[in-house]
Homo-oligomer: A and B are copies of this chain.
Amino acid sequence: MIANDIVLRVRYGETDKMGFVYYGVYAQYFEVARTELIRKCGFAYDELEKAGVMLPVISLNIKYLKPCFYDDLLTIKAILKELPGVRISFEYQITNQQGELTTTGDTTLIFINANTKKPTKAPKEMIEGLQMNFTNKISQ
């Protein structure tokens, strides 16, 4: 398991007229959280694309337990429970500055060869980077 936290402040443009963070914005928060988890393991998402691999999201699930608000300082934990094969899955937990769990979710992404458009295995360097950081306990 690899877990990594990022901290992110809610932008005004991310709120809606209810005063809450718009429910579609969390997809971006999750994206930033998983990108930074991968980067901490020595692999930039950008390199993936340069190596001819695309990684589109194939499923997204979110539970909105409490609203998040403008200017909130959110901690977004991304968790990787299994090393990737053709797919990679992340879980997410968002907590606000009061320590309240506001949001949980998960995404599954699929490695695609940019030329053939067919599913492909995760690049070896990426798996190695993840493997080196893999633990059996939460690394928080």
Contact = CB atoms under 8 A, between A and B. Distances in A.
B20 A19 contact: no
A95 to B, nearest CB: 18
Contact of A45 (B12, B32, B63): B12
Contacts of A27: 13, 22-24, 27
Interface in A47-100: 49, 54, 56-65, 67, 70-71
A120 interface: no
A138 interface: no
Contacts of A12: 16-17, 22, 31, 35, 45
Q: What number of copies of this chain does the assembly contain?
A: 4
A14 to B, nearest CB: 8
Interface of A: 9, 11-20, 22-28, 31-32, 35, 44-46, 49, 54, 56-65, 67, 70-71, 107
A32 B58 contact: no
A24 B28 contact: yes
Contacts of A67: 56
Nearest to A59: B63
Given A12-B45, A13-B16, A15-B16, 9 more contacts: A12-B22, A13-B27, A13-B28, A22-B27, A23-B107, A24-B24, A58-B65, A59-B62, A60-B62
A14 B29 CA distance: 12
